[in-house]
Amino acid sequence: MSSFNQFTKTISLEKYGITNAQVNYQLSPEALHHITLDKNQGVEASSGALAVRTGEFTGRSPKDRFIVKDEVTEHLVWWGNINIPFSSEKFDALYNKVISYLSGKEVFVRDSCACADENYKLNIRVINEYPWSNQFAYNMFLRPTEEELEHFDPEWLVVNAPGFMANPDIDGTRQHNFAILNFSKKIALIGGTGYTGEIKKGIFSALNFILPVYKKTLPMHCSANVGKGGDTAIFFGLSGTGKTTLSTDPNRSLIGDDEHGWTQENTIFNFEGGCYAKVINLCRDNEPEIYDAIKKGAILENVVLDEAGHVDFTNTSITQNTRVSYPINHIENIKVPSIGKNPKNIFFLTADAFGVIPPISKLTPSQAAYHFISGYTAKVAGTEAGVVEPVPSFSACFGAPFMPLHPSKYAEMLSNKMIEAGVNVWLVNTGWTGGPYGVGTRMKLKYTRAMINAVLNGDLGLYNYDDYHIHSVFGVAQPRTCPGVPTSVLSPRQTWNDDEAYYTMAFKLTNAFRENFKKFEAHCNEEIRRGGPQRYAF
Ligand code: ATP
Ligand code: MN
């Protein structure tokens, strides 16, 4: 196996307590690909990509994500069912069990970085039980140069042991899997789950604490791209709302897919070095850039292949959350380095399965703050036939599961930055039109893209009163026309053909917004509260 190793440097893991391990340090992605095949842990798809199954978990497990409560975190973290406390003693005991589990095994170690801006760079050492998890780290984190590797000093450690099962009674976990952040020891300890997203979101969660607390930088769960004129756009949104899809645009250079920081120096930078795209129903016609990125070096997760190695992207028999990870340079049009100036436009993406939010609207600063704190999207309960009620889902800052601090901290920073930068904020419903889930249909991707392009090309200025309509429930400015989009699509009410049903549903969603916002009211001023939907406004 060492014949694959292009680096002469070897490292010992004894200082981490891992003894007698066969250490594969900094293997090339090609080597990891082949080792994965040799171990029967994956197959090669006809595209050349590696296809793996992540096992029992095909998504993150937010209920099993903990933060060690100690002198560093105690008074800063917003404790609760998102940031679940874990004791230092229990952490030490569990860590010892995990490293003794890894001792004597073959392990894969990779030094990598997060944060594309040199001033914020975080050195990470990732120790994986499986070769493909280590290739995921290669794809998703920033790849240090050989020179940087010579003197690499890892600050954070990710220990990833999917095959290790915790014993909840003894170890203090909820069940056999866990993802625990320890800010004093600078360790992300992941066990019992092979879902690779835990690795990237572990470091994201760490940065969501480190950057605002120590570096005055706002971390954001968003994608970002930049136009030919240097204008940056960022796209916030919960899972499945379109961050990856909409930021991948052949006419704009991709800055990053999912995680960014907004600095005091008025720049934004990518945390990562790769993309992690959903591939459910992926087709080349709609998403050619992502489709073509699935080649040698990419890792497909939990997809179903036929005998010839062709992927059936419509097959959800393993999970709806089928994914691919690839280094960002699998996309042709990228910004190098992954840094942009202050954004000119911010998009809040929501997949509204109630079908009542306009497909595009402009927000006032107070509406922007309100919607950022609310972080609304909708979940569709299932895919079975028959009427299935959508469920509203609110996740503060469009990323509550990854935010260790109180949402108001991030919201305050964002509000200040938005006002300073004079940025335009848009609410985009990439969800349903013509009725709720079950009745209406998902907004056509080509329309959403046309609306976003219109904003970015300056064709949706909304300067004149005649250009827009203030939505009678949500209070947002809804454009009357948009190039490339049928006028009837712009008004959700009109797409329903039933005003009463439309308003009944809109009020239902309004109530859900109000109910959710109650827990933030004490932290928000009147200005922000006024940004919410106005139930009786019409
Ligand atoms: P995550 O945080 O989990 O990475 P994400 O916000 O990046 O999620 P995407 O991976 O972009 O979400 O997923 C959006 C999905 O919705 C894609 O599968 C895309 O094809 C589909 N889709 C359908 N219609 C639209 C639309 N109008 N706009 C955006 N995406 C759409
Ligand atoms: Mn994404």
CA distance 82 to 251: 38
Whether 471 has a pLDDT exceeding 70, the answer reads yes
The ligand with the least distance to the CA atom of 274 is: 2
CA of 221, nearest ligand number: 1
pLDDT tens per residue, range 76-129: 999 999 999 999 999 999 999 999 999 999 999 999 999 999 999 999 999 999
Q: Does 354 have pLDDT greater than 50? A: yes
Are the CB atoms for 268 and 260 separated by under 8 Å?
Answer: yes
For residue 242, say whether it is annotated as part of any ligand binding site: yes
What pLDDT does 6 receive? 56
Q: How far is CA 523 from CA 348, 368, 370, 384, 417, in A?
A: 21, 16, 12, 40, 19
Q: Using N-to-C axis directions, what is the helix angle for 29-38 and 131-140, rounded to 10°?
A: 150
Q: Which atom of ligand 1 is nearest to the CA of 286?
A: 20
Q: What is the average per-residue pLDDT within 34-50?
A: 98
Ligand 1 proximity of 277 Cβ (cutoff 6 Å): yes
Instruction: Count, in order, helices (H) and strands (E) of the chain.
Output: 15, 30
Alpha-carbon dihedral 308, 313, 319, 324, rounded to 10 degrees: 90
Amino acid residing at 254 = L
Domain 218-262+342-529 class in CATH? alpha beta
194 CB less than 6 Å from ligand 1?
Answer: no
Is 323 marked within a binding site?
yes
The CB of 217 under 6 Å from ligand 1? The reply is no
pLDDT above 80 (res 57): yes
For the Cβ of 395 lying below 6 angstroms from any atom of ligand 1, the answer is no
Euclidean distance between the first and the last CA atom of the chain, given in angstroms as a whole number: 70
pLDDT attached to residue 449: 98
pLDDT on residue 8: 61
Please say whether the beta carbons of 271 and 259 come within 8 A: yes
Pairing of strands 468-470, 477-479: antiparallel
The C-alpha atoms of residue 42 and residue 26 are separated, in whole angstroms, by: 20
> 15-29: per-residue pLDDT in tens?
999 999 999 999 999
Task: Give me the chain's average pLDDT, please.
Answer: 94
- Per-residue burial over 183-212, b if 16 or more Cβ lie within 10 Å, else e, is bebbbbbbbbbbbbbbbbbbbbbbbbbbbb
The stretch 319-339 carries a mean pLDDT of 97
Ligand in nearest proximity to the CA of 257 = 2
Pocket test for ligand 1, best of 205, 245, 350 (most atoms within 8 A of CB): 245
**Residues of CATH 3.90.228.20 domain(s) within the chain?**
218-262+342-529
Percent of the chain with pLDDT over 90: 91
Q: Which atom of ligand 1 is nearest to the CA of 321?
A: 3
Strands 122-128, 42-44: pairing kind: unpaired
In angstroms, what is the span from residue 277 Cα to ligand 1's centroid? 8
Is domain 14-40+61-215 classified as CATH 3.30.1490.20?
no
Which residue type, as a one-letter code, is found at position 447?
Answer: Y
Q: How far is CA 248 from CA 191, 233, 251, 287, 288, in A?
A: 32, 12, 9, 8, 9
Ligand 1 atom with minimal separation from the 242 CA: 11
CB 365 within 8 A of CB 373: no
DSSP state of 460: -
Q: Whose CA is nearest to atom 1 of ligand 1?
A: 239
Query: How far, in Å, from the CA of 47 to the mean position of ligand 1?
Result: 22
For position 1, what pLDDT does the model report? 44
State how far the Cα of 494 lies from the Cα of 206, in Å rounded to an integer: 45
Calpha distance 427→361 (Å, rounded): 5
Task: Indicate whether 538 pLDDT > 70.
Answer: no
Minimum-distance ligand to the CA of 201?
1
CB 172 near ligand 1, within 6 Å: no
User: CA–CA separation, 462 vs 464, rounded Å?
Assistant: 6
Q: Where in the chain is the domain with CATH 2.170.8.10?
A: 275-330
Residue nearest to atom 3 of ligand 1 (CA): 239
Which atom belonging to ligand 1 lies closest to the Cα atom of 287?
A: 20
- Choose one of 58, 198, 241 to mutate for the ligand 1 pocket test, by most ligand atoms within 8 angstroms of C-beta: 241
Mean pLDDT of 365-375: 95
Three state DSSP letters for 271-283 = CCCEEEEECCCCC
Confidence at residue 419, expressed as pLDDT on a 0 to 100 scale:
92
pLDDT at residue 25 in the model: 97
In this predicted structure, the answer to whether residue 524 has a pLDDT above a threshold of 90 is no
Ligand 1, atom nearest to 221 Cα: 2
- Quick one: how far is CA 358 from the chain centroid? 24
Cα separation, 346 vs 262, in Å, equals 12
DSSP secondary structure of 141-170 = SB---HHHHHT----EEEEEETT----HHH
Check pocket membership of 58 for ligand 1, CB cut-off 6 A.
no
With a cut of 90, say whether residue 355 has pLDDT above it: yes
In which band, very low, low, confident or very high, does the pLDDT at 384 lie, cut at 50, 70 and 90? very low
Is pLDDT of 338 > 60? yes
pLDDT per residue over 161-218, tens digit each? 999 999 999 999 999 999 999 999 999 999 999 999 999 999 999 999 999 999 999 9
Answer whether 448 contacts ligand 1 (Cβ < 6 A). Answer: yes
pLDDT confidence tier of residue 7, bands split at 50, 70 and 90: low
Question: Does the beta carbon of 244 sit less than 6 angstroms from any atom of ligand 1?
Answer: yes
Contact 298, 256 (CB under 8 A): no
Taking residue 155's Cβ as centre, other Cβ atoms within 10 Å add up to 13
Q: How far is the CA of 323 from the centre of ligand 2 (A)?
A: 9
| CATH architecture, range 275-330 | Beta Complex (2.170)
Helix (H, G, I), strand (E, B) or coil at 113: strand
Quote the pLDDT of residue 536.
Answer: 45
Sheet-wide strand order for 122-128: 22-25, 106-114, 122-128, 156-161, 187-191, 178-182, 65-68, 84-86
* Predicted confidence band of residue 417 (pLDDT cuts 50, 70, 90): very high
Active-site residues, by number, are 60, 201, 221, 239, 243-244, 258, 323
- Predicted local confidence at residue 464, as pLDDT: 80
What is the number of alpha carbons within 13 Å of residue 423 lying toward its C-beta?
Answer: 27
Two structure tokens written together for 343: 């954004």
Residue 4, SS3 per DSSP: helix
User: Which residue ranges does the chain devote to CATH 3.40.449.10?
Assistant: 14-40+61-215
Is the confidence at residue 2, as pLDDT, over 70?
Answer: no
